[in-house]
Amino acid sequence: MTSTLKHAHEYRDPRIAQGLVRLIRRTNQRPVRLMEVCGTHTMAIFRHGIRDLLPETISLLSGPGCPVCVTSQHDIDTFVAYAQRPGTIVATFGDLLRVPGSRSSLQAAKAAGRDVRVVYSTMDALEIARQNRGRSVVFLGVGFETTAPTVAASILAARQSGLDNFYVVSAHKTVPPALAALMQNDAVVIDGFILPGHVSVIIGRRAYQAFFDTHGTPCAIAGFEPADILHAVQLLCAQIETGRPALVNAYPRAVSEGGNPLAREVMAQVFAASDAEWRGIGRIPGSGLSLCAGFTDRDARQALPVEVPPAREPAGCACGAILTGAKTPPECALFRKACTPMNPVGPCMVSSEGTCAAYYRYHG
């Protein structure tokens, strides 16, 4: 249905949304649990009141789609350790600043006089390195396939321009291996996935094929407007009701079969698949992006090693269970009590894409 829409405002047309909701109600005949694997989807679902439009038989679960939220406690502690390293400038996106580590945070390090700078792009971090040739500039690389190409491009640019003081701590992660890990989690029942739009622009529909061939779980790539999300829900419900699972691209105006070849090529030049630790899930083989052997001189972990004490998870925080859909934020004993956006205990309340932040802002 949404493929016939030609203008952006049509994707927010209440009449189109109502028509999709009626179609969903006719299609859906049984309880289903659908998981969105994108923090932007989570915020859009709450902002547009989509949960309230759907029949009670459809449950929308928020998965590990917030890159800051799934970053392990050890990696957060590593970031803080670099902020405390003498002679070092840490460049980071703003969402990381307030995430509590085991003993401190980037914000606390900055308040204590450490040089922590918020940037809006990797090129901003490169400019900091140009202006501070006598100091090490460490960029904190967090994100999925959406942001990894820009970080890879900054590393290539640093090498080309002779900036030998620019380093990256890569905590990047890839989405398809996480889907497989979720299907192996006995604590969560997932009947279908709303797949991320931004990530899929980079990797394409084909990147999910191996996962779908193995698990046969209904999947729909979706955009971020109300009609996009409702269309994806309708397609998933139809697959579930007919018993004919499929991997469909419901966002064809932005997502192609093979993704963005240039972005994927840049990533492949700089990064290689590695095992990675995900908050709430654990170690997932092949789900991380580490710098290739030819770029170890840019890998802060190897070129500028720091000592990181054993990590401690925040007491009472249910962020890990929330990221897998095993719990919702109201089921956490700290939610809206000890844990608020002004005083966050875990990253799900800090990030603009965090499920707890979305519930706090929009739910109830």
Q: What does 78-102 look like in DSSP terms, one character per residue?
A: HHHHHHTSTTEEEEE-GGGTT---S
Distance CA 93, CA 267 (A): 20
Q: What is the pLDDT of residue 223?
A: 97
Domains and CATH numbers, the chain: 1-364 (3.40.50.11740)
**Concatenated DSSP letters of 299-326:** BHHHHS----PPP-PPTT--HHHHHTTS
Distance CA 159, CA 140 (A): 18
Buried b (16+ CB within 10 A) or exposed e, 44-74: bbbebebeebbeeebbbbbbbbbbbbbbbbb
Distance CA 240, CA 309 (A): 47
* Phi, psi values for residue 249, rounded to 5°: -100, 100
Q: What is the pLDDT along the chain (364 residues), one digit of tens a residue?
A: 545 666 677 888 989 999 999 999 999 999 999 999 999 999 999 999 999 999 999 999 999 999 999 999 999 999 999 999 999 999 999 999 999 999 999 999 999 999 999 999 999 999 999 999 999 999 999 999 999 999 999 999 999 999 999 999 999 999 999 999 999 988 889 999 999 999 999 999 999 999 999 999 999 999 999 999 999 999 999 999 999 999 999 999 999 999 999 999 999 999 999 999 999 999 999 999 999 999 999 999 999 999 999 999 999 999 999 999 999 999 999 999 999 999 999 999 999 899 999 999 998 6
Q: For tokens 């894409």, what's the residue? A: 353
Residue 115 has, within 13 A of its CA and on its CB side, a CA count of: 15
Q: What is the pLDDT of residue 364?
A: 63
Q: What is the pLDDT of residue 3?
A: 53
Residue 43 tokens, joined: 């915020």
Q: What is the pLDDT of residue 7?
A: 66
